[in-house]
Structure 1
Amino acid sequence: MNHLKASLFGTFVSLCSFQSFSQATTDFKFDFGSGKVAKGYTQVLPTSAYSKEKGFGFLSNAQIVSETRKGNNALTSDFCSSTQPFFFTVDIPEGNYDVKLFLGDTKGTSTTTLKVENRRLMLEKVITDEGEIATKEFTVNVRTPNINATEKVKLKPREFAYLHWDNQLTFEFNDANPKICGLEITKASDKTITVFLAGNSTVVDQAIEPYAAWGQMIPRFFKAKNVVFANYAESGETIKSFAGAKRLDKVMSLIKSGDYFFIEFAHNDQKAGSGIEANTTYKEYLKSYIQQTKEKGAIPVLVTSMLRRNFNAEGKLNNTLGDFPEAMRQVAKEENVALIDLNAMSKVLFETMGPQKSMKAFVHYDANTFPEQTKAIHDDTHFSNYGAYELAKCIVEGIKQVKLDLANDLLDGLPNFDPANPDDEASFNFPHSPLVSVVKPDGN
């Protein structure tokens, strides 16, 4: 474990046991930089390390600097920046929040990619020209394990170090030259649609590099204030264990009329000892999830699991998921619910890439080619940032194809995505987070 990861995760483990005074506060305005402070804003200096007394501050050991420019606008005439990715956190109660960021430099340029919590992608490569200040907005979900006064989600030991499951909203400012002028956080409207996600390591907000999943990439494609994603997937889960750990109870305690519940399971369910059989218990659990969702007035959406990278001699993918994808298709018809056939789309996607190029979509690294990785990694189940991003685009297309109203909340001007014509990996310029590990996620 590198120094940054140990420091950052250690901070969160120690903070999970308390609630600071700011827990009662849901609206914040921060002015980053050492210059004049905008009226109504709280100043954030490069030295503003997090403390429970303040309830906000920087977390990482990045060398943060501030620069001040001449100008009448106190908010945008100064900023904080770093040559390394840096983290800022705010104590805040569970819920959905609208976030507004002011990015740029009145005397220079900037490039910012913004992730929150467990590397959840919200803004991708925001580039400001010389002298430009960009205002960007998104909506984010903050959660805790609490279901009610007596019940909690049964977290796995590693989850206590995650950058979610706490009363905090954590920002990761990343990319070539991020310059943060201001940050506003306000409670989201009750009318905001929440899209809850259930699944395993192929869906989860993966905490550490080089792993990623589609659930942490998809928020980037949706409009602020309209939609927020609440990703409750976790590595190693089956449709049975997800319910057994009370993750389903947690979702059902929050989901409301008009919300969505995307359900993707199969990779771990198919394994011996899971207690799940495709055409009996799997179907029964799916129908139970669907019934509970409908009882809340929400909209269930089934998502077939993507294929593993398992090619035959003819360059076609073998089905390693047994009858599970077909069982889900049958349930969708029987229950008259929407189905996004990611299984079929992933077959086209990965076969188009072929046996060699598809390795870039999965976690395949030779020894000493990734930080802290002294041995080769060859993983044909879990995805790189590139692979997760392409699968998220498949989900977006699936939302359009099945004509969910959710499609109306996609960002304007998004080009259509054809799995038979994937993005060129060589042109995929995506900044890695500094939290790296070679520990393989649960499940395969």
Structure 2
Amino acid sequence: MRLILAGAMAVAAMVHPASAQVRRFALGSGPVTTGATPVAPDHAYADGYGYEPGGHSLFSVAAAPGNYRVTVTIGLPKDATDTTIKAESRRLMVDALKVGAGKHETVSFIVNVRDASLVQPPANAPGGSRVLLKPREQESFTWDDKLTLEILGAHPGVTAIAIEPVTLPTIFLLGDSTVTDQPAEPAASWGQMLPVFFSPDIAVANHAESGETMKSFMTELRLAKVLELAKPGDWALIQFGHNDQKANWPQTYAAADTTYRDYLRTWIAEFRRRGVTPVLVTSPERRFWTGTRIRPTLGDYAAAVKAVGAELGVPVIDLNAMSTAFYQGLGPDRAPLAFNDGGKDATHHDNYGAWALARCVAKGLADAKVALAAHLKPGLPPFDPGRPPDPASFRLTPSIAHDTRRPEGN
């Protein structure tokens, strides 16, 4: 059972200057349209395009940092198809789109590409030239010089791909491992599920990373990278707390009633100075029970987020409350089905849990009447965190394992 609409048709957007070029590829044995490069199933990545090692599921194209409109044609002449598409590090773009035999559909979505480079500061100015990536990020699809699509499904049927650089608003995600693009099954986070809920008129740039705090996000130059990229009209969704609360991490600990609030105020000021609209998100709760109720572990930090949001007039999405309602709606016996490692992990989520939390974020935007909600896909079904869909009915084609390591930190 598919729980959301699978894709959206292309909408108009301003492209980069006239020198921008659309790159077209014809996959498999289908017809090759004018200007398209034919790609054989065994064409390994070379000369700026081709399949990554491990089969014909991961297709990459050389791409400079920026936002790209990707338009795919799906459908086979003799077979029905069922196609799921993820981008970069498992960002969900198309969810189980079914096309009948002899028919085809064209779907567009936006993919954000980035690298770790920063604008070199003057010789006499403090700063750095690159984001301080963790070892697990060094070879990831998130930070390389390519746009990578993962073509999956019960019977995938992508026959053509067009990739075009575009200029449009960007949603920057800043957070920890509950937000980041988790590199491998069975772990997943809400940030990598969020793109499937938006129309192809806005990009999602997920800069969250495992183990991060507000302080480490600055010292590793991740905030500098986002601020360098952000432009007027963009959005920043900010969610921290899981690691900031760890007093046993003395270099990055931030008390909820003092330093943590000051960091939030500073970040809000930095974004507003650039014409970027900040939105605060309270951290999803951990799965610790007292009877049939979730025991709060992040209450002080959720309260701090709401207090700063009220003080500065910043929208707040209370994911802490919605995640608690979600877990309690499932109950102690079924709630582990939303978590990584078969439920042994009480913090990090699997595909089902990550999807549900992303749907909570989308609901939070709509309920708060944040202007960003205008970019959500029309016709999203109603969603009640306290009455979640049955995990037994949830289907999402698993990714190829890019990285077998467990999530780092929280």
Q: Name the TM-score, length of structure 1 as normaliser.
A: 0.84
Q: Aligned partners of 2:89 and 2:287: how far apart in 1?
A: 25
Report the secondary structure of 2:85's partner residue.
strand
Letter in structure 1 aligned against 2:74:
L
2:6 counterpart residue number: none
Asked whether 1:137 is paired with 2:108, we answer yes
2:149 counterpart residue number: 171
Asked whether 1:185 is paired with 2:180, we answer no
2:52 counterpart residue number: 59
2:44 counterpart residue number: 49
Where relative contact order (Cα < 8 A, 6+ residues apart) is larger, the structure is 2
Per-residue deviation, 1:35: 5.2
Q: Aligned partners of 1:147 and 1:438: how far apart in 2?
A: 29
Q: Aligned partners of 2:153 and 2:51: how far apart in 1?
A: 17
1:31 counterpart residue number: 26
2:392 counterpart residue number: 426
RMSD, aligned CA: 1.4
Asked whether 1:349 is paired with 2:303, we answer no
Asked whether 1:379 is paired with 2:345, we answer yes
Per-residue deviation, 1:33: 2.4
1:257 counterpart residue number: 232
Q: Which moved more, 1:33-42 or 1:387-396?
A: 33-42
Q: Aligned partners of 2:36 and 2:207: how far apart in 1?
A: 33
Q: Aligned partners of 1:402 and 1:157: how far apart in 2?
A: 38
Write the deviation string for residues 261-294 of structure 1: whole angstroms up to 9, x where unpaired: 0000000000012331111110010001100000
Residues paired across the two proteins, number = 382
Write the deviation string for residues 63-101 of structure 1: whole angstroms up to 9, x where unpaired: x5xxxxxxxxxxxxxxxxxxxxx1100011000000100
Structure 2: segments with no counterpart, 5+ residues: 1-18, 122-128
Structure 1: segments with no counterpart, 5+ residues: 1-23, 65-85, 366-376
Write the deviation string for residues 341-399 of structure 1: whole angstroms up to 9, x where unpaired: 0011111111111111100011242xxxxxxxxxxx71000001000000001000000
Relative distance call for 1:437 and 1:152 in structure 2 (3 A) is closer
Relative distance call for 1:44 and 1:50 in structure 2 (3 A) is same
Give yes or no for contact 1:268–1:443 (8 Å, CA) kept in 2: yes
Per-residue deviation, 1:439: 3.0
1:327 counterpart residue number: 304
Q: Aligned partners of 1:182 and 1:438: how far apart in 2?
A: 31
Q: Aligned partners of 2:299 and 2:43: how far apart in 1?
A: 53
Report the secondary structure of 2:345's partner residue.
strand
Give yes or no for contact 1:25–1:92 (8 Å, CA) kept in 2: no
Letter in structure 2 aligned against 1:200:
D
Give yes or no for contact 2:186–2:341 (8 Å, CA) kept in 1: no
Give yes or no for contact 2:319–2:360 (8 Å, CA) kept in 1: yes
Give yes or no for contact 1:262–1:303 (8 Å, CA) kept in 2: yes
Relative distance call for 1:329 and 1:35 in structure 2 (3 A) is closer
Q: Name the TM-score, length of structure 2 as normaliser.
A: 0.91
Q: Aligned partners of 1:159 and 1:400: how far apart in 2?
A: 33
5 Å-filtered alignment, 1:284-299, equals 284-299=262-277
1:104 counterpart residue number: 75
Report the secondary structure of 2:355's partner residue.
helix
Relative distance call for 1:309 and 1:181 in structure 2 (3 A) is same
Per-residue deviation, 1:61: 2.6
Report the secondary structure of 1:383's partner residue.
coil
Per-residue deviation, 1:436: 6.3
Per-residue deviation, 1:421: 1.2
Relative distance call for 1:378 and 1:35 in structure 2 (3 A) is closer
Q: Which moved more, 1:274-283 or 1:429-438?
A: 429-438
Per-residue deviation, 1:37: 2.5
Q: Which moved more, 1:25-34 or 1:348-357?
A: 25-34
Report the secondary structure of 1:48's partner residue.
coil
Letter in structure 2 aligned against 1:266:
G
Letter in structure 1 aligned against 2:328:
E
Per-residue deviation, 1:407: 1.2
Letter in structure 2 aligned against 1:186:
E
Write the deviation string for residues 327-347 of structure 1: whole angstroms up to 9, x where unpaired: 111000111110000011111
Per-residue deviation, 1:60: 3.2
Q: Which moved more, 1:282-291 or 1:427-436?
A: 427-436
Asked whether 1:359 is paired with 2:336, we answer yes
| Percent identity (aligned) | 42
Q: Aligned partners of 2:81 and 2:232: how far apart in 1?
A: 41
5 Å-filtered alignment, 1:116-131, equals 116-131=87-102
Q: Aligned partners of 2:193 and 2:202: how far apart in 1?
A: 14
Q: Aligned partners of 2:30 and 2:350: how far apart in 1?
A: 40
Q: Aligned partners of 1:336 and 1:416: how far apart in 2?
A: 27
Write the deviation string for residues 101-139 of structure 1: whole angstroms up to 9, x where unpaired: 001112221010000110000000110012111100001
Give yes or no for contact 2:20–2:164 (8 Å, CA) kept in 1: no
Write the deviation string for residues 390-418 of structure 1: whole angstroms up to 9, x where unpaired: 00010000001111111111112111211
Give yes or no for contact 1:270–1:322 (8 Å, CA) kept in 2: no
Asked whether 1:147 is paired with 2:127, we answer no
